[in-house]
Chain A
Amino acid sequence: MSLPADPLVIADDVALSDSPGQTPPGPDVVVRGRRQLVFRRLRRRKGAMAALVLIVLLWVIAFVGPHIYEAITGWTYANQDFRAFLKPPSAEHWFGTTQIGSDVFAQTMRGLQKSLLIGLLVALISTGLAAIVGAFAGYLGGWTDKVLMWIVDLLLVIPSFLIIAILGREFRDAGWLVLVFLIAGFGWMITARIIRGMTLSLREREFVLAARYSGVGTVGIVFRHLIPNMSSLLIIDATIAVATAIIAESGLSYFGFGVQPPDISLGTLIAEGTRSAFTFPWLFMFAGGLLVLTTLAVSVFGDGLRDALDPNSQRAGGSK
Chain B
Amino acid sequence: MGRFLLRRLANYLVLILVATTLAYFVASVALNPRVRYEGRNPPPPPAVVEQQLTEYGVNDNDPLLGRYLDWMGGVLTGDFGKTVTGGDINGELGSRAMVSLRLLLVGSILGAIFGILVGVWSAIRQYRFTDRFFTAFSFFFIATPVFFTAVLLKFGALEVNEAAGTTLLYYTGYETPGLDAGFWGSVKDQVAHLILPSLSIALGLVALFSRYQRNAMLDVMGSDFLRTAQAKGLTRRRALYKHGLRTALIPMATLLAFSFGTMAVGATFTETIFGWHGMGEWLVESIRNNDINVTATVSLFTAVFILLSAFLSDVAYALLDPRVRVS
Binding site for B on A (CB under 8 A): 154, 157-159, 161-163, 165-167, 169-170, 243, 247, 250-251, 254-257, 270, 274, 277-278, 284, 288, 291-292, 295-296, 298-300, 303, 314-315, 317-318
- How far apart sit A197 and B218, CA to CA, in the bound complex (Å)? 25
- How far apart sit A256 and B284, CA to CA, in the bound complex (Å)? 10
Question: Is B147's CB within 8 Å of the partner chain A?
Answer: yes
16 contacts between A and B (CB under 8 A): A157-B15, A159-B299, A162-B287, A162-B295, A162-B299, A166-B295, A169-B30, A250-B145, A254-B269, A255-B268, A257-B287, A274-B147, A288-B148, A291-B145, A291-B148, A299-B143
| B26 near A166: Cβ-Cβ < 8 Å | yes
Q: For A299, what are the chain B residues with a Cβ–Cβ distance below 8 Å?
A: 139, 142-143
| B19 near A278: Cβ-Cβ < 8 Å | no
> Which of chain A's residues has its CB closest to B300's CB?
A159
Q: For B23, what are the chain A residues with a Cβ–Cβ distance below 8 Å?
A: 158-159, 162-163
Interface string of B235-252 (1 = CB under 8 A from A): 000000000000000000
How many residues of B are in contact with the other chain, CB < 8 A? 40
| A255 near B148: Cβ-Cβ < 8 Å | no
A179 to chain B, nearest CB (A): 15
| A255 near B284: Cβ-Cβ < 8 Å | yes
Q: For B18, what are the chain A residues with a Cβ–Cβ distance below 8 Å?
A: 154, 157-158
Q: For B265, what are the chain A residues with a Cβ–Cβ distance below 8 Å?
A: 161, 251
- How far apart sit A41 and B284, CA to CA, in the bound complex (Å)? 46
Question: Is B154's CB within 8 Å of the partner chain A?
Answer: yes
Q: For A300, what are the chain B residues with a Cβ–Cβ distance below 8 Å?
A: 139
> Which of chain A's residues has its CB closest to B298's CB?
A162
| B287 near A314: Cβ-Cβ < 8 Å | no
| A292 near B144: Cβ-Cβ < 8 Å | yes
| A277 near B145: Cβ-Cβ < 8 Å | no
Binding site for A on B (CB under 8 A): 15, 18-19, 22-23, 26-27, 30-31, 126, 139-140, 142-148, 151, 154-155, 158, 215, 218-219, 222, 265, 268-269, 272-273, 283-284, 287-288, 295, 299, 302-303
| B287 near A165: Cβ-Cβ < 8 Å | yes
By DSSP majority rule, is chain A's interface helix, strand, loop, or mixed? Answer: helix
A80 to chain B, nearest CB (A): 26
Q: Contacts A166-B30, A251-B265, A274-B147 known; A159 to B142 CB distance under 8 Å? A: no
B10 to chain A, nearest CB (A): 15
| B155 near A251: Cβ-Cβ < 8 Å | no
Q: Contacts A278-B155, A284-B151 known; A318 to B143 CB distance under 8 Å? A: no
- How far apart sit A278 and B265, CA to CA, in the bound complex (Å)? 25
| B155 near A296: Cβ-Cβ < 8 Å | no
8 tightest Cβ-Cβ pairs between the two chains A and B: A295-B143, A296-B143, A166-B30, A158-B22, A288-B148, A161-B265, A247-B145, A157-B15
- Residue of A158, A169, A257 most packed against chain B (CB within 10 A): A158
Q: For A158, what are the chain B residues with a Cβ–Cβ distance below 8 Å?
A: 18-19, 22-23
Given contacts A159-B303, A295-B143, 13 further A-B pairs with CB under 8 A are A157-B19, A157-B303, A159-B19, A159-B302, A162-B287, A162-B299, A250-B145, A250-B147, A251-B146, A254-B269, A256-B288, A277-B151, A299-B143
- How far apart sit A304 and B89, CA to CA, in the bound complex (Å)? 50
- How far apart sit A256 and B288, CA to CA, in the bound complex (Å)? 9
Q: For B146, what are the chain A residues with a Cβ–Cβ distance below 8 Å?
A: 251
- How far apart sit A31 and B20, CA to CA, in the bound complex (Å)? 58
- How far apart sit A257 and B285, CA to CA, in the bound complex (Å)? 12
A284 to chain B, nearest CB (A): 7
From A161, A288, A292, A318, contact of B140 by CB (8 A): A292
